[in-house]
Amino acid sequence: MLGFPFIENFIQPYSGNSVSDFYRRWHATLGSWFKDYIYIPLGGSRKGTVRTIFNLTVVWIITGLWHGMTLNYLLWAMVLLVLILVEKFILSKNDKLFKIFGRINVLVLIPCTWVIFAIHSTRKIGTYGLRLVPVINNGIAVNEKDIIFILEAYWPYLLMGLVFAIPFVQSFYRKHKDNIFVIFVLFVMFWISIISLANSAGNPFMYLRF
């Protein structure tokens, strides 16, 4: 915001074409550290399939433990590990399948993994899972109008998220960032962000726990 150049840490992750690509873009500096100091020293993917699976497993176990010592973080990491292994050793053998299911993994399954990440109780993870995919009756009444109430509160953020996730928008900004109109839009967005932060001062920053 102040014009200082920093290493880019989030590189439009939801435009990624696979889970692996997503996590090269999401917390890119952290992922790069794990690659340079853990994955590559272990041998990376140069020592055969079994060793590659072992190396990836070690990296993701450490990733889960880095976020916290509760079981949900380890479960979250193992789910992502399975998705990455399926992409790397099964889907990658067919370009069309990789393109289709890679995007499904990013846009559908990645958001589902955030449920596991956010909830520390394994019992509650099961409850949330049954609400998301109600294959059996788990004794919880789901209000069919929940989505309406949620959209009423969050539709501006959802809309902005969809717009700014389009790669063209970022390339347009880089090309026209000195334009007075673009500067004005950024100025307005800056103060909207400040007001939003001020109004949510009671909400602790999640990463202070890590």
pLDDT of 141 over the 60 cut = no
Domain boundaries, given as residue ranges, for the chain: 1-142, 143-210
Q: 3-31, pLDDT tens digit by residue?
A: 788 888 998 898 899 999 999 999 999 99
State the pLDDT at residue 21: 96
DSSP 36: I
Is residue 117 within 8 Å of residue 72, measured between CB atoms? yes
Q: 172-190, pLDDT tens digit by residue?
A: 888 998 999 999 988 998 8
Determine which one of 27, 67, 120, 176 is catalytic.
67
State the pLDDT at residue 20: 95
Q: Is 67 a catalytic residue?
A: yes
State the pLDDT at residue 12: 85
Percent of the chain with pLDDT over 90: 53
CA torsion, points 10, 12, 14, 20, in degrees to nearest 10?
-60
